[in-house]
Chain A
Amino acid sequence: AQSVTQLDSQVPVFEEAPVELRCNYSSSVSVYLFWYVQYPNQGLQLLLKYLSGSTLVKGINGFEAEFNKSQTSFHLRKPSVHISDTAEYFCAVSEGYSTLTFGKGTMLLVSP
């Protein structure tokens, strides 16, 4: 069975600083990996996804993530955050055509 661990429930950071949100997964087969962002009282918006190919994936809003198979990780990074990046971020994994399994989420708090 697949599972996702987001190691940090909350990450405070100052505006214009870099940030990394950590995500580790476990699965017995090849997986597809996703990062979603959720603003208060809204649904989920896809930031980026890894299906195959290059392990460095670039997404929207300046975010990127790197798939590391040996470490079973898919950490999300942004070199310089904005106040508007304050939101909940969810890492998710899917084994082929199966359903998505979400991590518990990481709240990114950007302060001026």
Chain B
Amino acid sequence: GAVVSQHPSWVICKSGTSVKIECRSLDFQATTMFWYRQFPKQSLMLMATSNEGSKATYEQGVEKDKFLINHASLTLSTLTVTSAHPEDSSFYICSARDGGQEIYEQYFGPGTRLTVT
């Protein structure tokens, strides 16, 4: 149980285009989802927290107009990187909290490798 999927697992896009990453909780309802960014050989940095049906809360320094987060249902959150640039290339990981279980635990997706050329 408690499986989180991400799609795509990797994506290459051209500079200036937008790319959408999906995060799905497969066997539970995720009341809260989180989006992280990880640079090579570094730790995870929280970008934003989203609750189903409400606007995401962004961490300081994260551009909300560039990284659009939508949590339209209890099983799906999307991260759209708009007007991508090479510096946006990174490993993006989502996680989710099960609304019906221990709320202290987050279940992580397998990550999406974004490369902007």
Contacts and interface: CB of A to CB of B under 8 A. Distances in A.
Interface of A: 32, 34, 36, 41-46, 49, 51, 90, 94, 96-97, 99-100, 102-105
B101 to A, nearest CB: 12
A7 to B, nearest CB: 14
A52 to B, nearest CB: 10
A90 B104 contact: no
Main secondary structure of the interface of B (DSSP, over half): strand
Contact of B110 (A42, A96, A97): A42
B65 interface: no
A47 to B, nearest CB: 12
Contact of A43 (B34, B43, B93): B93
B43 A102 contact: yes
Interface string B84-102: 0000000101010000001
Nearest to B45: A102
A22 to B, nearest CB: 15
A33 to B, nearest CB: 10
B111 A43 contact: yes
A41 B102 CA distance: 27
